[in-house]
Amino acid sequence: MTETPKVKGAWDARRVDRHLEESVVPLRLAIHGATGFPVLVSLWYLYEDRCLWCAVQRDSRVGQLVRRESRCAFEVAPNEPPYYGVRGQGHAHLVPEAGSSILRRLMDRYLGDRYTSLRSWLEARAATETAIRIEPVRLTSWDFSQRMQG
């Protein structure tokens, strides 16, 4: 378990944790690109022990960039109104030994028993997955639900 990140915004730390645990939308991850420009990717995630967990192929560009620079930013928010969510900054680290188990948990979370051909394709690549563990340092929440009523 990592240190408690600084939390500010519309929600207290418990509500932020609940949002990150319960939301089943992709996490948007911003990482440092090799050219100096930021790179933004959408990844499935889990929230556990105050860390966000994703999975990518070991040789993927995302994995290479995380290996080069751990500092990152992220956002977990739905695309539809009313707008609310959590964004933050943290450090991302590769955890190769957890790759296939995280991938399987992500498939259960996001696919359930649907999309069996996608699940089969992902399972065939599980041995070459690596996990990304994101340790948040700062978290900010926003919630425009009240403003967007009626």
Question: Of 52, 85, 86, nearest to 66 (Cα)?
Answer: 52
CB neighbours of residue 93 within 10 Å: 14
Q: What is the pLDDT of residue 2?
A: 66
Q: What is the pLDDT of residue 1?
A: 54
Q: What is the pLDDT of residue 150?
A: 62
3-class SS of residue 86? strand
Q: What is the pLDDT of residue 115?
A: 78
Q: What is the pLDDT of residue 4?
A: 85
Q: Cα angle at 42 between 36 and 45, to 5 degrees? A: 120
Domains, the chain, in order of start with CATH, read 13-143 (2.30.110.10)
- pLDDT below 70 — which residues of the chain? 1-2, 150
Q: Say if residues 51 and 92 touch (Cβ distance below 8 Å).
A: no
Question: Of 139, 128, 135, nearest to 55 (Cα)?
Answer: 128
Q: What is the pLDDT of residue 113?
A: 86
Q: Say if residues 13 and 7 touch (Cβ distance below 8 Å).
A: yes
Q: What is the pLDDT of residue 3?
A: 75
d(CA 137, CA 6): 6
**Looking at residue 83, what DSSP letter applies?**
P
- pTM of the predicted protein model: 0.93
End-to-end Cα spacing for the chain: 42
Q: What is the pLDDT of residue 146?
A: 81
